[in-house]
C-alpha cells in the first residue's frame, strides 16, 4: 500500500481537500486504484448531529467521491471521538490486559491500525483493493487536538517503509499589501514547514496556495529556505473553477514527482485499467476547458434554510455543476432564504420579501433541498405551489419531497389540515410521519442512512425521471432521513394525481413522487446529490437541470443512446 499524506499549515480552509482530491485523480488516470481517508480532530463521533453550517467533514469526503468516482464508508472518516470510543471499548473488555492505557502507544497505534484496515477496503466499481491511499489531516499542524494524529502518521511512515509514503504540505503565500503592487510573502510558509518538521513530519512537497501564479523568485526562495528541490514546490493559484486544479498540478509534473517518490512504476496494472484512466483524464480535461467557453446561463433558485452559508449545500451545489457541464450550460444558483418568502417578512422586511419572490419567479427551475425543523418551511411550501401551478421545473429532496406531498395534500387532494409529525405535531392529518423504527428520544445515529433500493412502479413508464434510467427496474440511492410519507394516505394522494413512481423494496416506503402533466415536477426521499460525480452526474439532478435548460428531450435521447 502506498500512502500520500496531505497536511496543512498557516491557516485552515486553504484547499487541502481539493489538492488531495486532485492528487488522487492524477494517480487514478495512470490506472491506479485510489482510496482516501479524512482525519478530523474534533471529538464528535460523526457529523450526524452537527449543524449543516458546521459539517466540514462531509465537504471533504464529498470531494473525494466526486473527483475519484468512489463510494466511501463512514470508516473513511476518522475523528478523535471515534478513536477514543474504540480504545475505551477495548479497555472495558480487557483487551489491554490491565495495562495503563495511554495516548502513546494505544491511541496512536489505534489510529495507524484504523488507517491500514480502511485503506484496503475496495471503493470503486472494480472491487479491487486500492493501490494508493490519500490521507488528509484536518486542521493545521500545531493545533493541540491534532497532536495524537500527527504522532500516529509520523509512525505510519516507518510502518509503511521506504518508497511507500509521501507527504504534501499545503501552505499559503499571502500578497502584502493586497493588490497588483503587492509582494508575495514566503515567511508564513517557512514557519509552517519549520513547525511541521518540529512535530515529527518531513514534507516531500510543498503546495503553495496563492491568489496569483507564484513568481519564479518566490518559488526559488521557498525551495532554498525550506531545503527542498525546486520541482518539489508546487504553485496552486486561484483558477476559474476547482476542476482546473488537477490540470494545474499535472502541468507542474506532480505525477512524475510522486512516481519517483513512491516508486509507482513498480505497481503493475491491467492494460484495461490504464486505458480507462487515460480516457478519464481526456474527459476531465474536455469538461474543465468547456467551462471557459459557455454562454447560455440556467438559473436555479435554491430555496433553503441554511443559505447564509453556501457550503451547507455543497453536495447539491456540485451536483448542479455536474449537470450543467453535461448539458454544456453555465450555472447560476440563486440562493433564496425560504423564510423571506413568508408573509411575516413582508411586514418586517418588505425589501427581502420582494427580492426573494423576484428570484423565485424569474428562475428557470426551483429546488427545495433537505433540512430539519419548522423554520422557513412555510416559505418552502409557497415556492412549491408556485413551481407546481406555473409549470416551472421543480426538484424536491428529502424535506423538499415531504413538503411537496403536504402542499399537494392541502391544495389539490383537499385533505384538511394536512401536516407533518415533525413540523405540525397538532395537525389533524399527518401526511408525513416518523418512521416506525425511529427512536424519538435520540438524535444521533437514529436516521435511515446509506444506500437503499428504489423500485420503479408498474404503470410509471411515462415518467420523465424513469426514462433517464432506461430499462432499469430499480436504482440504488443514498438516504438520510427519519420521517416518511404516511402509507395510509398514499392511495388518496394517488387518486388525486400525485404519482408515487418509486417505492422501497417492500412497497411500503415512498421514494419518488412525480406529476404527469408537468414539464418536471419530481421529488425524492433519497439524496441524489450524494452519488453525483463530475464525470457521471446524478440522473435525477440532470433531468431537473435539463428541464430547466429546455433540453430534457435531447439529454434523455443522448443518455438512451449511451445506455
Contact in structure between 186 and 218 (CB atoms under 8 Å): yes
Q: Which three cell numbers stand for residue 301?
A: 433558485
Active site includes 125?
Answer: no
Q: Which three cell numbers stand for residue 83?
A: 478513536
The string of DSSP letters for 327-374 reads HT-EEEEEEEEGGGGSHHHHHH-HHHHHHHHHHHHH-SEEEE----SS
Instruction: Report DSSP state, residue 214.
Output: P
Burial of 288: CB neighbours in 10 Å, binned 0-12, 13-18, 19+: buried
Catalytic residue, chosen from 133, 226, 398, 551, is 398
The C-alpha atoms of residue 368 and residue 384 are separated, in whole angstroms, by 8
The string of DSSP letters for 13-34 reads SSSHHHHHHHHHHHHHTTT--E
Tell me how far the alpha carbon of residue 190 is from its chain's centroid: 32
Catalytic residue, chosen from 133, 422, 529, 551, is 529
- Write out the E strands in 13-164: 34-40, 77-79, 132-137
φ, ψ dihedrals at 289, nearest 5°: -70, -30
Residue that is written with C-alpha cell 448542479 in the block: 320
Active site includes 452?
Answer: no
Catalytic residue, chosen from 232, 424, 430, 527, is 527
Q: Angle at Cα 400 formed by Cα 394 and Cα 401, nearest 5°? A: 85
Contact in structure between 112 and 150 (CB atoms under 8 Å): no
Q: Which helix (H) or strand (E) holds 91?
A: helix 80-92
Q: Which three cell numbers stand for residue 540?
A: 435525477
Active site includes 398?
Answer: yes
The C-alpha atoms of residue 418 and residue 548 are separated, in whole angstroms, by 30
The C-alpha atoms of residue 396 and residue 402 are separated, in whole angstroms, by 8
The C-alpha atoms of residue 235 and residue 218 are separated, in whole angstroms, by 10
Q: Which three cell numbers stand for residue 17?
A: 481537500
* Strands 205-210 vs 77-79: parallel, antiparallel or unpaired: unpaired
Q: Which three cell numbers stand for residue 412?
A: 389539490
Residue 164 in 3-state DSSP?
coil
Which strands, in side-by-side order, build the sheet including 521-524? Answer: 330-337, 297-304, 365-368, 394-397, 521-524, 510-514, 499-503, 448-456, 474-481
Q: Which three cell numbers stand for residue 14?
A: 486553504
Catalytic residues: 398, 527, 529
Amino acid at each position: 500500500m502506498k500512502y500520500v499524506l496531505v497536511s496543512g499549515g498557516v491557516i485552515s480552509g486553504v484547499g487541502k481537500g481539493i489538492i488531495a482530491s486532485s492528487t488522487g485523480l492524477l494517480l487514478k488516470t495512470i490506472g491506479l486504484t485510489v482510496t482516501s481517508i479524512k482525519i478530523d480532530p474534533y471529538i464528535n463521533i460523526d457529523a450526524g448531529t452537527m449543524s449543516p453550517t458546521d459539517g466540514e467533514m462531509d465537504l471533504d469526503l464529498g470531494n473525494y467521491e466526486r473527483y475519484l468516482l468512489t463510494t466511501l464508508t463512514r470508516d473513511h472518516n476518522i475523528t478523535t471521538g471515534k478513536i477514543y470510543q474504540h480504545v475505551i471499548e477495548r479497555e472495558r473488555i480487557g483487551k489491554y490486559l490491565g495495562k495503563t492505557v495511554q495516548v502513546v502507544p494505544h491511541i496512536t497505534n489505534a489510529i495507524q491500525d484504523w488507517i491500514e484496515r480502511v485503506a484496503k477496503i475496495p471503493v470503486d466499481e472494480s472491487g479491487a483493493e486500492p493501490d494508493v491511499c490519500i490521507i488528509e489531516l484536518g486542521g493545521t499542524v500545531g493545533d493541540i487536538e491534532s497532536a495524537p494524529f500527527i504522532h500516529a502518521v509520523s509512525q505510519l511512515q516507518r510502518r509503511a517503509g521506504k518508497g511507500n509514503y509521501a507527504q504534501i504540505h499545503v501552505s499559503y503565500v499571502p500578497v502584502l499589501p493586497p493588490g497588483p503592487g503587492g509582494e508575495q510573502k514566503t515567511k508564513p510558509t517557512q514557519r509552517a514547514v519549520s513547525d511541521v518538521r518540529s512535530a515529527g513530519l518531513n514534507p516531500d512537497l510543498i503546495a503553495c496556495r496563492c491568489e496569483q501564479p507564484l513568481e519564479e523568485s518566490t518559488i526559488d526562495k521557498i525551495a532554498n529556505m525550506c531545503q527542498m528541490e525546486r520541482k518539489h514546490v508546487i504553485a496552486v493559484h486561484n483558477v476559474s473553477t476547482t476542476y482546473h486544479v488537477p490540470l494545474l498540478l499535472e502541468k507542474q509534473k506532480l505525477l512524475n514527482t510522486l512516481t519517483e517518490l513512491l516508486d509507482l512504476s513498480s505497481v503493475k496494472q491491467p492494460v484495461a485499467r490504464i486505458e480507462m484512466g487515460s480516457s478519464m483524464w481526456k474527459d476531465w480535461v474536455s469538461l474543465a476547458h468547456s467551462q471557459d467557453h459557455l454562454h447560455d446561463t440556467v438559473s436555479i433558485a435554491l430555496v433553503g434554510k441554511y443559505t447564509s452559508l453556501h457550503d451547507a449545500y455543497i453536495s447539491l451545489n456540485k451536483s448542479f455543476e455536474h449537470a450543467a457541464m453535461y448539458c454544456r450550460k453555465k450555472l447560476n444558483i440563486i440562493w433564496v432564504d425560504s423564510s423571506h418568502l413568508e408573509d411575516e417578512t413582508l411586514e418586517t422586511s418588505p425589501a427581502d420579501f420582494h427580492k426573494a419572490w423576484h428570484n423565485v419567479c424569474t428562475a428557470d427551475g426551483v429546488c427545495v433541498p433537505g433540512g430539519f425543523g419548522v423554520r422557513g418551511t412555510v416559505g418552502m411550501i409557497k415556492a412549491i405551489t408556485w413551481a407546481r401551478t406555473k409549470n416551472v421545473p421543480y426538484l424536491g429532496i428529502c424535506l423538499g419531497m415531504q413538503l411537496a406531498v403536504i402542499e399537494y395534500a392541502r391544495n389539490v387532494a383537499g385533505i384538511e389540515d394536512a401536516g407533518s409529525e415533525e413540523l405540525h405535531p397538532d395537525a389533524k392529518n399527518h401526511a408525513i410521519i416518523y418512521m416506525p423504527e425511529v427512536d424519538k428520544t435520540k438524535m444521533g445515529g437514529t436516521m435511515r442512512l446509506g444506500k437503499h433500493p428504489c423500485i420503479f412502479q408498474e404503470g410509471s413508464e411515462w415518467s420523465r425521471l424513469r426514462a433517464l434510467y432506461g430499462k432499469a427496474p430499480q436504482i440504488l440511492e443514498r438516504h438520510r432521513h427519519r420521517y416518511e410519507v404516511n402509507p395510509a394516505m398514499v392511495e388518496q394522494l394517488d387518486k388525486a394525481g400525485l404519482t408515487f413512481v418509486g417505492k422501497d423494496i417492500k412497497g411500503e416506503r415512498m421514494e419518488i413522487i412525480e406529476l404527469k402533466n408537468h414539464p418536471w415536477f419530481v421529488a425524492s426521499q433519497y439524496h441524489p446529490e450524494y452519488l453525483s460525480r463530475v464525470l457521471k452526474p446524478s440522473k435525477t439532478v440532470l433531468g431537473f437541470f435539463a428541464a430547466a435548460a429546455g433540453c430534457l428531450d435531447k439529454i434523455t435521447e443522448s443518455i438512451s443512446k449511451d445506455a
